[in-house]
Structure 1
Amino acid sequence: MNKNGIKALVFDAYGTLFDVHSVIEKCNELFDGKGVEISKTWREKQLEYANLHQIMGNYKSFYQITNHALHYAVKLHDEQLDKRAENELLKAYLQLSTFPEVKDVLTQLQDKKLAVFSNGSHDMLDPLIKQSKITDIFDQIISVDEIKQFKPAVASYKYAAKELKVKPEEVLFMSSNGWDISGAKNYGFHTAWINRQNLPIEEMDMEPTIIYHDLTGILEWK
């Protein structure tokens, strides 16, 4: 494909720019020895609940979903979630760590239009990006909350393209989530799967345009 035809580099947030499992330390502090398990379940239920709300046509913000998923995860692992622990863990989700290469890579790409496009609602996404010191790098922060259609719904990607004022084929979309890559490819974006966990490609007949192990590979699109 013609890389010069790409006008916008669009990044998913959770798992792509930000390490969702950087909450493990706080989980371990509150629930001794169960941090890995709780974090894993928390993320799985967060994604599951978003999909279920989308399918049922019963939208709730990603902040609400993240809270509900947390409650489920703690119960599943036989722990009790009091208000203090709830607040501390939700606050930790607003302070996730970026992956090590993120800031350096983004800084080198600033001759392109850069955007974040996330299922995260602005009450989660904006403080998260602000605390990470990468706010000024992006031209736009787009949340599905603005249209209340979670990815991978076609309407969500269509909305992002409209907000960016670009055609689908002018976008390279980056995500670490295979389902998100499938959704973006289905809509018509070019896709770069940031396969941080060395997973197999999703069996959706929607193969990514290109695969990288981390974001440093994106530098060839400069």
Structure 2
Amino acid sequence: MRAYVFDAYGTLFNLHAAAERHRDAIGPEWQRFSHTWRTKHIEYTWHTTMVGRRASFWLLAERGLDYAIAAHGLSVSAATRADLMAAYRRMQAYPEVGEVLAALRQRGAKVAILSNGDPDMLA
């Protein structure tokens, strides 16, 4: 039996879909903004791990978003910020993911997700 384990964020789920969905509110630099958000989010997870303090992946995503908003000098309403976080919670899979996972299962493979995301974020 073969088993395949995939990282959720960036492998199965499109990390930049939330920012892309709100690019009108973010502006023409939405891709750079999205990259900053994700980079800072991951840096925060590394930092909390190194100091031995686990923090919610969701909370760190919020902190990363706040950092990106400030770093890019954006004026984002509370509603837009909430919409960005809601979109992050409902992250879209890349278009080919369903087909690839189905093909692996059809061949008898077991598939699983490995993630440092909070369980409710992956439900």
Alignment TM-score, normalising by the size of structure 1? 0.51
Structure 1 unaligned spans of 5+: 1-5, 127-222
> Structure 1 CA distance, aligned partners of 2:121 and 2:109?
25
CA shift, 1:74, in A, is 0.5
**Which of 70, 86, 100 pairs up with 2:81?**
86
Alignment TM-score, normalising by the size of structure 2? 0.89
Q: Equivalent residues in 2 for 1:187-198 (5 A)?
A: none
Q: Does 1:120 align with 2:117?
A: yes
Judging by fraction of residues, say which structure has more helix.
Answer: 2
CA shift, 1:7, in A, is 3.8
1:97-128 residue CA offsets vs partner (Å, 9 max, x unmatched): 222221111001111221111011012111xx
Q: Does 1:99 align with 2:106?
A: no
With 34-43 and 23-32 compared, the bigger mean Cα shift is at: 23-32
Q: Which has the higher contact order (CA 8 A, sep 6+)?
A: 2
| Residue in structure 1 matched with residue 31 of structure 2 by the alignment | 36
Structure 2 unaligned spans of 5+: none
> Structure 2 CA distance, aligned partners of 1:10 and 1:22?
22
Structure 1 vs Structure 2: percent identity of aligned residues?
A: 36
Superposed CA RMSD in Å reads 1.5
1:174-204 residue CA offsets vs partner (Å, 9 max, x unmatched): xxxxxxxxxxxxxxxxxxxxxxxxxxxxxxx
> Structure 1 CA distance, aligned partners of 2:25 and 2:121?
22
Whichever residue aligns with residue 49 of structure 1, its letter is Y
Contact 2:37–2:64 (8 Å) recurs in 1: yes
Structure whose CA Rg is larger:
1
Contact 2:19–2:84 (8 Å) recurs in 1: no
Contact 1:63–1:123 (8 Å) recurs in 2: no
CA shift, 1:59, in A, is 1.1
> Structure 1 CA distance, aligned partners of 2:120 and 2:58?
7
Aligned length: 121
Q: Equivalent residues in 2 for 1:1-222 (5 A)?
A: 7-110=2-105, 111-126=108-123
Judging by fraction of residues, say which structure has more strand.
Answer: 1
- Structure 1 residue runs of 4 or more that deviate by more than 4 Å after TM superposition: none
Contact 1:11–1:17 (8 Å) recurs in 2: yes
* Secondary structure of residue in 1 paired with 2:113: strand
